[in-house]
Amino acid sequence: MKLLLIHSDFLEYEQKEKAIKSAEDVQKEKKRVEDCLVVFTCVERCDEDSPAQAVAGAVKEIQDVANQVKAKKIVIYPWVHLSSEPASAGASLKVLKELETSLGAEYEVHRSPFGWYKSFTISCKGHPLAELSRKIKAGEAGKEEVSEALKKEETLKSEWFIIEPDGKMNKISIKDGKIIGFDFSKHKKLEKLAKYEMQKSRLVKQEPPHIKLMKKLELVDYEPGSDPGNLRYYPKGRMIKALIEDWVTQKVLEYGVMDVESPIMYDFEHPSLKKYLNRFPARQYTIQTPNKKVFLRFAACFGQFLMAHDATISYRNLPLRMYELTKYSFRVEKRGELAGLRRLRTFTMPDCHAFCKDIGQAKEEMLVRFDLADEIQKGFDLGRDDFEFAVRVVKSFWNENKDYVVNLVKKWGKPTLVEMWDKQFFYFVLKHEWNFVDALDKASCLTTDQIDVENSKTYDLKFTDADNKQKHLIILHLSPSGAVERVMYALLEKAYMQQKQGKNPVLPLWLSPTQVRLCPVSDKFNELCKEIADKIEKKKVRVDIDDRVESIQKKIRDAELEWVPFIVVIGEKEQKSNKLAVRFRASGKVENMKPDDLIKLITKETKGKPYRPLPLPRLLTRRPVFYG
């Protein structure tokens, strides 16, 4: 069965004439339903063998969407053209009637007559969940792979606190929609994080600003030819993504990891893997291969743990650091939670594990990794003002390690949100998160590290200690930057918020696709621009030339719209003086500089950062338009 769901201000329809002989025998009428979820549907041939399962699957999907958009009225509208293999008329009508009955217990249900040509007018509400499609396969309804940990997470009850850097502990709760127990007057973003986490609502009801920016800047876009949550990266976006990957990997290698690579799919029935699946709060993509049922990885844990299991490890090797930049990881996030670069189903995750001797060594190592993450985030111009810190901890670990957790908060330097569980629900006993709060007050975790006390036993990961005895390891799970896509999201959201404050939005200079734009006032200065560009490019600076037949004002305006950091007009004056009038995007100021001085300024600011060449042809006239 195929469903097309439109959340509508209204649907108005009128029967015109029968389309088939077996059409329902009803009187012609004009009908209008206000504020409803319209379900255009086609029962398919494959549904005829298991109609009850088809109905059950459709009811589940419709209820899920209706509850998300808070619709109380549902209109079932038969539309045979949704499928090239529709079921017979008799089977279709039977399924539609059962669907109407099943939904009628909870909603006000209207069903458009079956087998008629109809005229209709519909008004779509136009929010992110207003237009959705679903495909139900009889026999597969209800078989989504959901981990036990995810099921528990949905019912998990916690105590919440704000811990201040001096160790003061403030218990907080929500009353009448407000958080009580701590004065947030100087910590508004922390208040937003606390409310977001305590209410546990991940649905997106408004398009995040970064989505328009990622398209407008020709970085990233949705890919309609793929599954939702899988994106396409245009040349500029791919370059930014690659540089982020290079930077994180560079710093992690300096930290002393062993860089490895592992498969993206694993045996669903492998005993250790299956146990871990049910301890990790994520939904899986599953595939039936010619040999077995497999799942696509949602982290690098599987591959690294299996490697560690087969390795011979001595206490002298510890802490043993292993790293993989996973291209790609997969999680079947709920459709209503998907939002541009913020939450996807396919993403690139820098995943760094440290295998430690005991809790003491793990705590020491976590502090080293904290500093590593700090250095990496500062490389993106993301610092304490951009993040809010959160700690999740099991009460027993807290009781034994309170000073350590408070020291983490002190190291952070700002009040911190703490979620405390009475019992251990997951594989970790302590987890810290660096959360970015965006323009819509949604919080997203970037950096995170966890102390895992369970998976060493699950995977039978052991080391030989100094007493020549085999002992289980303690594992740290670090993503030093968070998913690469989420870093891009944070940078774009931060730029948007800067713009709302009256500042010119910018990306870090080393990530700007074009760092210098040369704008000749006329064609006769194109050759001079090429000479200057050659000189600049030799110093590993990305420079391009606007050789279009446009006014200089338009060239400058377009460069501004592309967020080019340095815009240089080239004309008679520049040719004679050998100086450049450089427009600084960040400040809006114009300074006269020699080409060498501009090069020095850029190379100084980008020192130590990875470099990639210009992702598009140097001349703007040679470039395709990917969006707009």
3-state secondary structure of 195: helix
pLDDT at 48: 85
pLDDT at 143 over 50: no
pLDDT at 78: 95
Shared domain for 124 and 171, answered yes or no, is no
Going by the DSSP 8-state scheme, the letter that residue 586 receives in this structure is: T
The 10s digit of each residue's pLDDT in 10-63 is 999 999 999 998 899 898 889 999 999 999 999 998 888 788 888 988 998 999
**Structure-token pair, residue 623:** 């470039």
Q: Which of these, 439, 574, 443, 453, lies nearest to 495 by C-alpha position?
A: 439
pLDDT at 31: 94
Phi, psi of 179 (to 5 degrees): -90, 130
Domain end among 424, 457, 491: 491
Shared domain for 476 and 589, answered yes or no, is no
341-358 average pLDDT score? 96
pLDDT at 199: 82
The CATH number for 161's domain is 3.30.930.10
Q: Is 218 within a domain?
A: no
Q: Name every residue whose Cβ is closer than 8 Å to that of residue 387 and which is 6 or more positions away in sequence.
A: 377, 434, 435, 436, 446, 447
Shared domain for 445 and 573, answered yes or no, is no
Query: What is each CA distance from 492 to 83, 497, 530, 564, in whole angstroms?
Result: 39, 9, 31, 14
Q: Name every residue whose Cβ is closer than 8 Å to that of residue 68 and which is 6 or more positions away in sequence.
A: 129, 203, 336
What is the maximum alpha-carbon separation in the chain?
89
Domain end among 107, 135, 163: 135
Between strands 169-175 and 159-163, the pairing is antiparallel
Q: What is the percentage of the chain residues whose pLDDT exceeds 70?
A: 96
pLDDT at 283: 79
Give the integer Cα–Cα distance in Å for 49 and 54.
Answer: 9
Give the integer Cα–Cα distance in Å for 563 and 216.
Answer: 11
491-517 average pLDDT score? 96
Give the integer Cα–Cα distance in Å for 332 and 326.
Answer: 16
Q: Is 186 within a domain?
A: yes
Shared domain for 188 and 89, answered yes or no, is no
3-state secondary structure of 201: coil
**Structure-token pair, residue 151:** 């099921």
Give the integer Cα–Cα distance in Å for 19 and 86.
Answer: 15
Number of Cβ within a 10 Å radius of residue 595: 20
List the domain range (segments joined by +) for residue 258.
154-207+252-491
Shared domain for 451 and 599, answered yes or no, is no
pLDDT at 530: 97
The CATH number for 63's domain is 3.50.80.10
**Confidence (pTM):** 0.78
The string of DSSP letters for 486-537 reads: HHHHHHHHHHHHHHHTTPPP---GGG-S-SEEEEESSGGGHHHHHHHHHHHH
The 10s digit of each residue's pLDDT in 441-460 is 999 999 999 999 999 999 99
| Total number of domains constituting the chain | 3
Give the integer Cα–Cα distance in Å for 435 and 442.
Answer: 10
Shared domain for 172 and 120, answered yes or no, is no
- Provide the phi-psi class of 460: left if phi over 0, else alpha when psi is between -120 and 50, else beta: left
Q: Is 220 within a domain?
A: no
264-275 average pLDDT score? 86
- pLDDT classification of 150: cutoffs 50, 70, 90: low
- pLDDT classification of 429: cutoffs 50, 70, 90: very high
Shared domain for 276 and 318, answered yes or no, is yes
Q: Is 403 within a domain?
A: yes
Give the integer Cα–Cα distance in Å for 113 and 193.
Answer: 48
**CB 60, CB 141: distance < 8 Å:** yes
Shared domain for 412 and 355, answered yes or no, is yes
pLDDT at 141 over 60: no
**Residue written as token pair 């295998």:** 355
Shared domain for 94 and 183, answered yes or no, is no
**CB 276, CB 519: distance < 8 Å:** no
**One-letter amino acid of 1:** M
pLDDT at 203: 64
Shared domain for 49 and 195, answered yes or no, is no
- pLDDT classification of 628: cutoffs 50, 70, 90: confident
Report how far apart the first and last C-alpha atoms of the chain are (Å, whole number).
35
Give the integer Cα–Cα distance in Å for 243 and 484.
Answer: 10
The 10s digit of each residue's pLDDT in 12-25 is 999 999 999 889 98
**CB 393, CB 418: distance < 8 Å:** yes
284-307 average pLDDT score? 90
Going by the DSSP 8-state scheme, the letter that residue 476 receives in this structure is: E
Going by the DSSP 8-state scheme, the letter that residue 375 receives in this structure is: H
Give the integer Cα–Cα distance in Å for 239 and 222.
Answer: 17
The 10s digit of each residue's pLDDT in 375-426 is 999 999 999 999 999 999 999 999 999 999 999 999 999 999 999 999 888 8
Q: Is 559 within a domain?
A: yes
Strand partners, 476: 354, 451
Give the integer Cα–Cα distance in Å for 502 and 520.
Answer: 29
Q: Is 243 within a domain?
A: no
Rg of the Cα atoms in the chain: 29
Q: Is 35 within a domain?
A: yes
The 10s digit of each residue's pLDDT in 156-165 is 678 999 999 9
Domain end among 108, 135, 162: 135
- pLDDT classification of 138: cutoffs 50, 70, 90: low
| Residues present in the chain in total | 628
Shared domain for 75 and 195, answered yes or no, is no
Shared domain for 572 and 476, answered yes or no, is no
Q: Is 229 within a domain?
A: no
pLDDT-wise least confident of 179-183, 333-337, 600-604: 333-337
Give the integer Cα–Cα distance in Å for 85 and 123.
Answer: 28
pLDDT at 579 over 60: yes
Strand partners, 584: 566
120-130 average pLDDT score? 91
Between strands 543-545 and 516-520, the pairing is parallel
Phi, psi of 555 (to 5 degrees): -60, -45
pLDDT at 140 over 60: no
**Residue written as token pair 């986490």:** 197
The CATH number for 519's domain is 3.40.50.800
3-state secondary structure of 214: helix
pLDDT at 536 over 90: yes
For 593, the enclosing helix (H) or strand (E) is strand 590-593
